Amino acid sequence: MPRTAIHSNRAPAAIGPYSQATRAGNLVFFSGQIPLDPATGALVEGDIATQARRAFDNLKAVCEAAGGTMDDIVRVGLYLTDLSQFTAVNAVMGEYFAEPYPARSTIEVPALPKGAAFEVDAVMALA
């Protein structure tokens, strides 16, 4: 099955040999988004909620570039360097998704790129 790279200037450029997202058939697979400012490439300052909002905004931008909306996302993966901040991240996720919510995994990791405290990846299904 052929795959197509997806790119948005409203999200940070990839910092390695990967695409922001790749479409294969009706599925779009999103690379992880950390809280980088798309204009500067710098990590945003602030608490975990601020970082999560920036990462979800980046995900939303790539989602829209792929021709979808956040409502088309069927699965998300959340990665936190401190699982005690789960409640704050969960509240932010609720600002971006409505029922029926996508499937989700939440994983504590020892470190994330550029010193981020949060990362999100996703899978989207388009009609």
Q: Which residues contact 44 (CB under 8 A, 6 or more apart)?
A: 35, 36, 37, 50, 51, 54
Instruction: Cite the DSSP H helix spans in 34-104.
Output: 48-65, 86-96
Q: What is the pLDDT of residue 15?
A: 82
Domain annotation for the chain: domains and CATH numbers? 3-125 (3.30.1330.40)
Sheet holding 21-24, edge to edge: 3-6, 21-24, 27-33, 118-125, 73-80, 103-108
The reported pTM is: 0.96
Q: What is the pLDDT of residue 53?
A: 98
Per residue in 72-103, pLDDT tens? Answer: 999 999 999 999 999 999 999 999 999 999 99
Q: How far is CA 37 from the centre of its chain?
A: 13
Q: Which residue has the higher pLDDT, 1 or 29?
A: 29
- The model's confidence at residue 17, banded by pLDDT at 50, 70 and 90, is very high
Q: What is the pLDDT of residue 1?
A: 81
